[in-house]
Chain A
Amino acid sequence: MSWTRLFPILLAAALLYPPAASAAANPCLTCHGDKTVASKGAHLYIDPVKYELTTHAQIGCIACHDNVTKRHPADGIRPSRAKCQDCHAAVFAEYGQSPHSRHAGCTDCHKPHAVKPLLAVSSRDINRQCAKCHEYSETVKSHSKWLPRAALHIDDLPCITCHTGSENYVITLYMATKAAGSPLGGFNLADFDDLRPFLAAGKNAGTIIDSDGDGAISVSELKKFNTNSRYQNISLLGTMMPEAVTHTYQILNNRWDCTFCHVSGVKAQQASYLAFPEPDGTYSRMEVEKGAILDILYGTPDFYMIGFTRSNILSIIGGLIAAAGLLVPIVHGTLRFFTRSRRKVNL
C-alpha cells in the first residue's frame, strides 16, 4: 500500500484510538494506576484519569518524588515528597497568614494527584471540601446570627465568594437537570452524562444553549433555550464565584453589605458565565452577554436574586395598579371638594 494511502488511515486511527496515555507515557502508573496496589495502602493508588488532568502530570512524578530510582520499590527506599512551597511559594506565604493555615495544610484541601484549577471545579465541589471540617448545620447556625436566609445562601453559594480576598465576583449560570416525572424533585447539578441525550455527537454541553456555536451566550439564545419544551428538564441555576483566586479567606467589608450583591443597575453589568460539564468531570465556561442575567422573564427565569433580578414589565404593571389606586381618592376627592356645598354635614 502506498504511503499516501496509508497516512490518512494511520492518522484517522491515531485520532480515533488515542494511545492509553497513562500506561504508555507514565511507567509509575503501571502499578500505581492499578486499583490492586491499594491493598498495600490506600494512598498508593493514583486515579489515572484524574491525574492526567492535573498540571502535576505535566511535570512528571519524579519532579516531586525525586529520590525514586529504577529499582523502586525493590530498593526499599521510601519515596520522598516535595514540599508544596518549593514551587508554590507565593500561595504558601499568602495562606500562611490566614488562621486557616493553623488547622489545615495544603493537602487537606488539595489532593496533589487530583487537583483541578478553579475554573474546572463546581461550587458544589468547593463547598464539599469546606464541609469536611465546617459542618453544615453549624455553619448555617453561625451565619443565621447576622445573615437573613442563611441556609439559602449556604446552599447556593460557594463559601469562597464571601470568604476571599477577591474584590469582585462573577455570576455563573450552571446547568442542572431534574429527573423526568418527579414534580417535587429539585434540579441537581448536571454532569455530562445527564446532558448527553440532548447533544449531537462530539459537541460540548454548552451547545445546548449556544445554538450558533460561536462560544458565547446571547440573550436571544437564552430565551430560545428557556422557551424550548425539549429542554424542560434542564434548568440554568445561578451562583457566584470570586473573580480572583486567593488563599486568604478574609471577609472584605463589601461582603457585609447586602446590596453589594443584591442591587440591580450598573453593578449587574458585570461579567457572567455559563458553566457546563465536560466528559472528564471538569467544567468549562462560556461568556454570557452583559446584562443578560437581568432578563428574568425569558433569559434567566431560574436565577433569582431579590432586589437584583426583577422583571421590569411586571414592576411597571404593579406600579400601574398602585397608581390606579391612588387615582381614586385624587379624582373623587377633587369632585367632592368642588361639590361640598351640596352636602350640609359631610365635607
Chain B
Amino acid sequence: MSSDTPMEKIYLTPTPVRIWHWLNALGIVTLCVTGLQIRFPEYANIFGTYKAAIRLHDVAGITVSISFLIWFFYYLFVGRNLIKLYVPKLDEIKEGLFKQAFFYFFAYFLGRENPHTATPESKFNAIQKLSYLMIMFLLLPLVIVSGLLLLNIAPLRGWIVMIGGIAFLADAHYLIACSFFAFLCVHIYMATLGHTPFAHFRQMWTGWEEVESHHR
C-alpha cells in the first residue's frame, strides 16, 4: 500500500446516519460519565451535585433514545438497507468472522491487507456486523427500556416489580452500560485502523471515505 496509489472518494455515510452517530457518541459518553457518578457518588463527584448528574443523565438518555428512533426509521424506511448492512450472511458467519478476526489480531501486525473494504453496499465486515447487530438490536434497546423504566419508577411500579424489581433493573442497566463502555474503547480504537489513523473519523464526519481506486 504505497502513497502514490490513485485514491478516490466514495460516499459511504448519509447525513441522517452521521447525525445519529455523533448524537449517540456524545450521548453515550455523557451517559457513561454521569452514570459513574450516579452509581458511585462518594467516589466520583464529577458534576458538583448529585442532582446535576441525574438531570444530565436523564437528558442524554432521552437524546440517545430519540437518536435510536432516527437510526431505525432512517434505515428501515428511507435507506431500506437495514438488513443488508447489519445482518451477517451465512458465509460471513461461517468464514468471514474468522478471516476478519485473523486479520485484526494477527495478519495486521505482519502488514497484510484488510480482507474487507467498505462500500456503500457492504459497509461492515463480518465482525462489525455481528457487533453492531448485538449493540443496536439487543444491548441498546435493553439499556433504553431499562433506563426509561428507571426514569418512571412511580407510575410503572407494577411492571418493574414484575420483571424483578428496581435493584435487578438498575443492576442490569449498569452491566449493559459497562458493556457499552467496553464497546466504546474497542470501537474508537478500531476506528484508527483506516488507511490513516483519522481516515475513518473524517468519513464519519463528511460522509466520504478515501479508498484506493483498484479496490472498486
What residues make up the interface of A, taking CB atoms closer than 8 Å to B?
Answer: 146, 148-149, 151-152, 155, 178, 183-187, 257-259, 262-265, 296, 301-302, 304, 306-307, 309-311, 314-315, 317-319, 321-322, 324-326, 328-329, 332-333, 335-336, 339, 342-347
Asked if residues B158 and A185 are in contact (CB atoms below 8 Å), the reply is yes
* Assembly CA distance A72 to B182 (angstroms): 82
| Residue from the list B38, B154, B179, B184 in contact with A306, Cβ < 8 A | B38
Asked if residues A186 and B197 are in contact (CB atoms below 8 Å), the reply is no
28 pairs, A vs B, C-beta closer than 8 Å: A152-B154, A155-B154, A257-B49, A258-B51, A258-B54, A263-B41, A263-B42, A296-B167, A304-B170, A306-B170, A307-B40, A310-B170, A311-B167, A311-B171, A318-B178, A321-B181, A321-B182, A322-B182, A326-B182, A335-B109, A339-B111, A344-B1, A345-B1, A345-B2, A346-B1, A346-B193, A346-B197, A347-B196
Asked if residues A309 and B167 are in contact (CB atoms below 8 Å), the reply is yes
Asked if residues B42 and A186 are in contact (CB atoms below 8 Å), the reply is no
Give the Cβ gap from A5 to chain B, nearest Cβ, in Å: 58
Chain B residues contacting A178 (CB-CB under 8 Å) are 161
Which residues of chain B (158-208) have a CB below 8 Å from chain A?
158-159, 161-162, 165-168, 170-171, 174-175, 177-179, 181-186, 188-189, 193-197
Q: How many A-B residue pairs have CB under 8 A?
A: 134
Interface residues of chain A: helix, strand, loop or mixed (majority):
loop
* Assembly CA distance A301 to B165 (angstroms): 8
* Assembly CA distance A187 to B194 (angstroms): 56
Give the Cβ gap from B60 to chain A, nearest Cβ, in Å: 14
Residue of B108, B159, B193, B196 with most chain A CB atoms under a 10 A cut-off: B108
Chain B residues contacting A152 (CB-CB under 8 Å) are 153-154
Query: B187 — nearest CB in chain A belongs to which residue?
Result: A325
Query: A324 — nearest CB in chain B belongs to which residue?
Result: B182
Interface size class of B (residues with CB under 8 A): 35 or more
Interface residues of chain B: helix, strand, loop or mixed (majority):
helix
| Residue from the list B58, B157, B188 in contact with A148, Cβ < 8 A | B58
| Residue from the list A184, A296, A336, A339 in contact with B158, Cβ < 8 A | A184
Give the Cβ gap from A145 to chain B, nearest Cβ, in Å: 12
Given known contacts A325-B186, A346-B195, is B165 in contact with A148 (CB within 8 Å)?
no
Asked if residues B178 and A332 are in contact (CB atoms below 8 Å), the reply is no
| Residue from the list B54, B189, B196 in contact with A346, Cβ < 8 A | B196
Give the Cβ gap from B140 to chain A, nearest Cβ, in Å: 16
Asked if residues A301 and B167 are in contact (CB atoms below 8 Å), the reply is yes
* Assembly CA distance A152 to B174 (angstroms): 21
* Assembly CA distance A183 to B161 (angstroms): 8
Chain B residues contacting A296 (CB-CB under 8 Å) are 167
Asked if residues A333 and B189 are in contact (CB atoms below 8 Å), the reply is yes
Residue of B58, B181, B182, B196 with most chain A CB atoms under a 10 A cut-off: B182
Query: A326 — nearest CB in chain B belongs to which residue?
Result: B185
Chain A residues contacting B166 (CB-CB under 8 Å) are 302, 304
Chain A residues contacting B153 (CB-CB under 8 Å) are 149, 152
